[in-house]
Amino acid sequence: MMDTTVQNIVVEKVKTSKIDQIDFDNLSFGSVFTDHMLVCDYKNGAWEIPKIIPYQPITLDPSAKIFHYGQSIFEGMKAYKDSNNDVWLFRPLDNQKRLNISAKRMAIPELPEEYFMEGLKTLLKLEKKWIPQSEGSSLYIRPFIFASGKGFHASPADEYKFIIACAPSGSYFSGKVKVLIEETYSRSANGGVGFAKAGGNYAGQFYPTQLAVKKGYQQVIWTDDNTHEYIEEAGAMNIFVRINDTLITGPTSDRILDGITRKSIITIAEDEGIPVEIRKITVSEVVEASKKGILKEMFGAGTAAVVSPISGFGHKNMNYDLPELESSYASLLKKRITDIQYNKTEDKFGWRYKV
């Protein structure tokens, strides 16, 4: 292996790439990984200089605190390649800032912006050939931090590990999904960590989602922890509801993630002249709107799928179907966002970031 230095980041390259073994026409989400990953350790009260090494397993002591107290956070991003073979990111500084918001809440040391950005750019330049160029494909990027420090005592760790791993991926979802409005379990609570991208938030979702799948649904619509009267998120995504011509989404809070796709959809919808309301949405309002025929759309919004249309929902043993629209807000907003991401159109908002 050959060692080189790029902007003080040590790069250890693989001897032989495995890229020729990959079928880029049949990529499932997050199951194939690139040749390299970025690793950065926090020790002795400071983050060390990041390094890029061949993608490989990591070794941890059985007493590493990630296993016992769950100090783990992550982000989800994508890199896109346009028709000129140029590589782009979408609002990466928002991901960097949100990672540190999550870190602070989980008592993890915040990561310097330059470590995140320079490390990410160096990694992507090295892995450029791994970024697929076919329609809807991208390189999924997973930055994450976890507690690697040892000890069984219930306290924050003294050592942490920051890693960026990448996976070339095709489209995340295909088709519309049916969802079940949750009446028993909660994703998060006031004063909790729902606004952070903490691993435990997602682990807690799996069991209720499995119960919904057994009933014939693909995802769960999360409601508030106190009364289950207010719609909050869709699976691991923010949720939008269209009643008549108004697009509605809940406000961010201790319980709801400040989604980057969510913010982008709100901005683009307003730019399109679509009435947007950011307010609490009651389950009863959605049910009544469906009964009256004025519930036009529901969709999830997140990095992986961008926009995931919902075809129907279940509540209190009743099913409600949404209409098939020729011109939906979901398709319009998804196209506006993806055209910016793939450098197909003007970026009037300054979201696109060239690598």
> pLDDT of 69-84, one tens digit each?
999 999 999 999 999 9
Cα-Cα-Cα-Cα dihedral sign, residues 333, 335, 341, 345: negative
Q: Is residue 150 part of a domain?
A: yes
Q: Are residues 202 and 333 in the same domain?
A: yes
Q: Are residues 193 and 336 in the same domain?
A: yes
Residue 333 has pLDDT above 60, yes or no: yes
Mean pLDDT of the chain: 95
Which among 157, 150, 58, 51 has a CA at the least distance from the CA of 109? 157
Q: Are residues 151 and 249 in the same domain?
A: no
Q: Are residues 95 and 207 in the same domain?
A: no
Q: Are residues 124 and 261 in the same domain?
A: no
Q: What are the tens digits of pLDDT across the range 268-285?
A: 999 999 999 999 999 999
For the chain, percent of residues with pLDDT exceeding 90: 92
The Cα 255–Cα 270 span in angstroms is 25
Q: Are residues 83 and 159 in the same domain?
A: yes
Q: For residue 295, give both structure tokens.
A: 């519930």
Q: Is residue 348 part of a domain?
A: no
Q: What are the tens digits of pLDDT across the range 195-246?
A: 999 999 999 999 999 999 999 999 999 999 999 999 999 999 999 999 999 9
Average pLDDT over residues 301-311: 93
The Cα 3–Cα 12 span in angstroms is 5
The Cα 152–Cα 164 span in angstroms is 27
Cα 204 off chain centre by: 16
Which among 350, 354, 349, 353 has a CA at the least distance from the CA of 268? 349
What CATH number did the domain enclosing 137 receive? Answer: 3.30.470.10
Q: Are residues 187 and 332 in the same domain?
A: yes
**In the structure, what pLDDT confidence band is assigned to residue 92 with cuts at 50, 70 and 90?**
very high
pLDDT at 247: 98
Q: Are residues 108 and 201 in the same domain?
A: no
pLDDT at 153: 96
Q: Are residues 29 and 115 in the same domain?
A: yes
Boundary-marking domain end, from 150, 169, 188: 169
Boundary-marking domain end, from 117, 150, 169: 169
Q: What are the tens digits of pLDDT across the range 125-160?
A: 999 999 999 888 999 999 999 999 999 999 999 999
Q: Are residues 209 and 162 in the same domain?
A: no
Q: Is residue 281 part of a domain?
A: yes
Q: Is residue 351 part of a domain?
A: no
| Helix extents (H) in the chain | 66-69, 92-105, 113-126, 199-214, 260-271, 283-292, 329-341
DSSP per-residue codes, 137-151: -EEEEEEEEEE--B-
Q: Are residues 157 and 54 in the same domain?
A: yes
Q: Is residue 248 part of a domain?
A: yes
**In the structure, what pLDDT confidence band is assigned to residue 1 with cuts at 50, 70 and 90?**
very low
CB 263 within 8 A of CB 276: no
Q: For residue 314, give both structure tokens.
A: 């279940």
Task: End-to-end CA distance of the chain: give it in Å, rounded.
Answer: 25
DSSP assignment, residue 124? H
For the chain, percent of residues with pLDDT exceeding 70: 97
Q: Are residues 76 and 182 in the same domain?
A: no
The Cα 302–Cα 3 span in angstroms is 37
Q: What are the tens digits of pLDDT across the range 153-208?
A: 999 999 999 999 999 998 766 567 999 999 999 999 999 999 999 999 999 999 99
Q: Is residue 349 part of a domain?
A: no
DSSP per-residue codes, 239-257: EEEEETTEEEEPPP-SSS-
Boundary-marking domain end, from 126, 148, 169: 169
Q: Is residue 206 part of a domain?
A: yes
Q: Is residue 118 part of a domain?
A: yes
DSSP assignment, residue 158? S
Domain count, the chain: 2
Q: Which residues contact 24 (CB under 8 A, 6 or more apart)?
A: 132, 134, 137, 168
State the residue range of the domain holding 29: 3-169
Residue 2 has pLDDT above 80, yes or no: no
Average pLDDT over residues 1-18: 75
What CATH number did the domain enclosing 257 receive? Answer: 3.20.10.10
pTM: 0.95
